[in-house]
Amino acid sequence: MNHLLHKGWGWLANEPHQRQGLRALQVCLGLMLLFRASTEGRFASYLWGPTGIGAGSTLDFLHPRLAPIADRLFTVEQGPLLLVLVMGVSSVCLVFGWSTRIATAGALLSSLALASRLPELGDGGDNVARLVLTYMLFALPADRQPRRGSLEVWLHNISILAIGLQIGVLYLTSGFLKATGDKWSNGTAMYLISQVEWFSHPAMRAPFQNPYLTTLASYGTLFFQLWFPIAILTRLRLLWLAFGVVMHLGIATLMGLICFSVAMIGLELFLVTDKEYAWLSDWHQRTINPRLHALWRSRPVQALVQLSGQGQRFNDVLASRQRMTSTPPAHTDVMSSQTTPLRTEDR
């Protein structure tokens, strides 16, 4: 027990974790908010403006003295536009990793303010994004290299743990509630959802009349969600996360819940550890890249490319990439390579 506590304390105190996962989450949340800002921006007046359909107030979460001041933003036409602009700029910064802490604060404040004006607009994606952005305020900025064992490392790891726990709560609750519903346990839930126009593409209707597909999809969803908090602590983690990403891509395409799906994919990518990202990158370099190159060099593809007239430019890019990858890897002694004699002569 003591050993476990010591190990847990060390995990929190010494080194920052999930740096790559956090970047993936920042990129996904940035893309989600960018989608919102770019598509909803032109409707700002209709949704949140002084004569818009929104009539909410920040009074729900702000002090009664502060709320009227914050609500003034919605009494002028430019107020909601300004908030959408803040959301857009913050989302671009999150995607590119620029000043991520300030960008997180900007994204959070603009989302909170807009949601308070029109709470009916949000979905689960907006909800989880706001929670996670709050925890992300304590995470290290993307380019920061902190001192080992410092307080900011501790706070970063606490925020990482908070995001992880929030994902666990989300899946556990959703799975637990589904398990208590008879439509999920009798396997017809996915068929019923496929019949609802708001949540389903017409292309979903016929396939989900198949008893095998609808039962498998209903039980699969239930099983995936219920076991999620446990599976991600085992060797099945990557398999579970990959399934989650595929499932949410399906939700985005077939159900049209773009914001929700992008946020969930970000949360799934967040749970991949730094070691796993390094391993995946290495595997990609060793396995996928050579195959892609071989495919590119194959006669049918080259023939197609020559026909389209784009071949030479792509071949040039490929050749320059190969020159880059053929330079010595980082761990070899660069001084012993071709540049060494030149430097010696300089001296």
Task: List residues binding other proteins (CB under 8 A).
Answer: 12-13, 35-36, 39-40, 42-43, 45-47, 49, 51-55, 60-61, 118, 120-124, 127-128, 131, 134, 151, 154-155, 158, 161-162, 165-166, 169-170, 172-174, 176-184, 188-189, 191-193, 195-199, 201-202, 209, 252-253, 256-259
Q: Smallest distance, Å, CB 116 to other proteins?
A: 11
d(CA 105, CA 112): 10
Q: How many other C-beta atoms are found inside a 10 Å radius of the C-beta of residue 10? A: 11
Q: Smallest distance, Å, CB 213 to other proteins?
A: 12
The token pair at 167 is 């994902």
Q: Smallest distance, Å, CB 170 to other proteins?
A: 5
Q: Smallest distance, Å, CB 53 to other proteins?
A: 5
Return all residues near 114 (Cβ < 8 A) that are at least 6 apart. Answer: 47, 48, 80, 83, 84, 87, 121
Residue 168 vs 311, nearer CB to other proteins: 168
The amino acid sitting at 126 is: D
Q: Smallest distance, Å, CB 236 to other proteins?
A: 22
Residue 3 vs 299, nearer CB to other proteins: 3
The string of DSSP letters for 237-303 reads: HHHHHHHHHHHHHHIIIII--HHHHHHHHHHHHHTS-HHHHHHHHHHIIIIIHHHHHHHHHSHHHHH
The amino acid sitting at 76 is: V
Residue 56 vs 311, nearer CB to other proteins: 56
Please classify residue 298 by burial: count the beta carbons closer than 10 Å to its beta carbon, then call 0-12 exposed, 13-18 middle and 19+ buried.
Answer: exposed
Residue 69 vs 165, nearer CB to other proteins: 165
Residue 53 vs 294, nearer CB to other proteins: 53
Residue 75 vs 344, nearer CB to other proteins: 75
Q: Smallest distance, Å, CB 182 to other proteins?
A: 7
